[in-house]
Chain A
């Protein structure tokens, strides 16, 4: 039973690996990273801050899946910054918020 369930799960995983999820969930992380590589240096550096600061508590890709309205990233990053142990300096918090606004502006 467990073996068959695992096979079913692997089959599902295989299906989800293609473009079938693009419409529902957006592009995969490789495509997002490729897009970021085309950004100005300032935004590329800000994404590096995302990978360092945010990954302390969660996957750096989690914010890309979060349902945060445009124009409110500053507020959201600030609530993260206030958490004890988060250790996100003000300048990094501002860069991270600006990065996600920049990213969101390029979404349809």
Chain B
């Protein structure tokens, strides 16, 4: 449907504008982070990536014409070699853009600033955390790991109503994969589909001056038999005060799973993040972040969220995690940053701990 709509608009497209852009552009991000946990020995075992962690990405964009681009970006990070992006992007009109390929999933406010050079914190906000999470195995990460990339097609729209910019993006995607009782993000990275049923995702934003409000949604099924669904929703707000930003976001996820007797149940997650960041001097930026998440309906065990309880303290069906983080980014040069931060993690049922991060980010 998206492709048919795009083709219909393409047919009405006027002559392409003058080609005055570059032919090729190359982008890359190379980030190395060293982290250390200060807490009990059992908490050290719950963070798989403690120590030296890298996120190394290199990409290029071929600008076929002013309105047609092909972008490929690869990434090696906490996981194996991955194609982070590989899509064609066609400007269908002054306000519409079509993307086809392996593309960023349009969901949430973080989808546009996922690389380490685009955020002040050493780890991503808890709802989007991809690595460096204390209790990662027990919770199976947050709401949706970022960057979320998937095979599919999307339409982006952006137009002005007076001083208000309305932005929207809707995508048809392959969707997450896994087996009951939760999504498996490692399996979801593999290219083949598992159930042949598409998923959908979208985001709508309204921006006035330095104020932006966004809402997002995603639906799909993750199991082979197309029986178990997931539903995500999010609302985000960004306020800019000069060069300082206040970012706030709340997200929800419902995930169906098979309980006793193959009866369908639903686990629920909800999370929020509030962040303030901005410059305090020419070369220094500061940030303070607070985020939290609650998971209900499954037991957070050492083997991941399960229908059956583990040994204490992994026998609770409702688990919450809270975090407060703060730190600084020092810009050595444009494209070279040193990032340091301290995070305090606390849990309903697990022991608290602190994590220190120090890293270097090279970005161009």
Using CB atoms and an 8 Å cutoff, list the residues of chain A in contact with chain B. Answer: 1-3, 5-6, 9-10, 12-13, 16-17, 21, 25-30, 32-33, 51-52, 55-69, 71-72, 74-76, 79, 82-87, 89
Apart from A52-B243, A68-B25, 15 more pairs, CB < 8 Å: A1-B51, A2-B34, A2-B50, A2-B52, A9-B358, A51-B242, A55-B245, A57-B112, A59-B329, A62-B363, A66-B364, A67-B26, A76-B25, A83-B112, A85-B205
Q: List residues of chain B with CB within 8 A of the CB of A61.
A: 331, 334-335
With beta carbons under 8 angstroms apart, the residue of B167, B203, B210, B283 that contacts A86 is B167
- Cβ of B287 to closest chain A Cβ, rounded Å: 12
CB-based contact A29/B334 at 8 Å:
yes
Q: Provide the B141-176 mask, 1 if CB < 8 A to any CB of A, else 0.
A: 000000000000000111010010101110000000
Instruction: Report how far A57 CA is from B282 CA in the complex, Å.
Output: 19
The contact sample of 20 A-B pairs, CB cut-off 8 A, is A25-B336, A27-B333, A55-B240, A55-B245, A56-B212, A56-B240, A58-B118, A61-B335, A62-B117, A67-B25, A67-B26, A75-B63, A82-B158, A83-B158, A83-B167, A84-B156, A84-B157, A84-B158, A85-B112, A86-B207
With beta carbons under 8 angstroms apart, the residue of A6, A32, A55, A63 that contacts B358 is A6
- Cβ of A36 to closest chain B Cβ, rounded Å: 11
Measured CB to CB, the nearest residue on chain B to A4 is B34
Q: Is B265 an interface residue (CB 8 A)?
A: no
Q: Is B91 an interface residue (CB 8 A)?
A: yes
With beta carbons under 8 angstroms apart, the residue of B50, B95, B156, B245 that contacts A56 is B245
Knowing A6-B34, A28-B283, A84-B205 are in contact, say whether A72-B20 is a contact too (CB < 8 A). yes
Q: Is B319 an interface residue (CB 8 A)?
A: no
CB-based contact B20/A52 at 8 Å:
no
Q: List residues of chain B with CB within 8 A of the CB of A76.
A: 21-22, 25
CB-based contact B167/A58 at 8 Å:
no
With beta carbons under 8 angstroms apart, the residue of B20, B52, B282 that contacts A74 is B20
Instruction: Report how far A79 CA is from B337 CA in the complex, Å.
Output: 25
Q: List residues of chain A with CB within 8 A of the CB of B127.
A: none
Size of B's binding interface in residues, CB under 8 A: 63
CB-based contact B333/A28 at 8 Å:
yes
CB-based contact A29/B283 at 8 Å:
yes
Q: List residues of chain A with CB within 8 A of the CB of B205.
A: 84-85
Most buried by B among A52, A63, A71, A85: A85
Q: Is B134 an interface residue (CB 8 A)?
A: no
Q: List residues of chain A with CB within 8 A of the CB of B20.
A: 71-72, 74-75
Q: List residues of chain A with CB within 8 A of the CB of B238.
A: 56
CB-based contact B333/A25 at 8 Å:
yes
Q: List residues of chain A with CB within 8 A of the CB of B335.
A: 25, 61-62, 64-65
CB-based contact A83/B156 at 8 Å:
yes
With beta carbons under 8 angstroms apart, the residue of A25, A56, A84 that contacts B203 is A84
Q: List residues of chain B with CB within 8 A of the CB of A60.
A: 243
Measured CB to CB, the nearest residue on chain B to A60 is B243
CB-based contact A59/B118 at 8 Å:
yes
Instruction: Report how far A30 CA is from B46 CA in the complex, Å.
Output: 41
Q: Provide the B1-30 mask, 1 if CB < 8 A to any CB of A, else 0.
A: 000000000000000000011100111000
CB-based contact A30/B282 at 8 Å:
yes
Instruction: Report how far A24 CA is from B358 CA in the complex, Å.
Output: 23
CB-based contact B282/A33 at 8 Å:
yes
Measured CB to CB, the nearest residue on chain A to B205 is A85
Instruction: Report how far A30 CA is from B168 CA in the complex, Å.
Output: 37
Q: Provide the B59-93 mask, 1 if CB < 8 A to any CB of A, else 0.
A: 00001001001000000000000000000000100
Instruction: Report how far A58 CA is from B331 CA in the complex, Å.
Output: 13
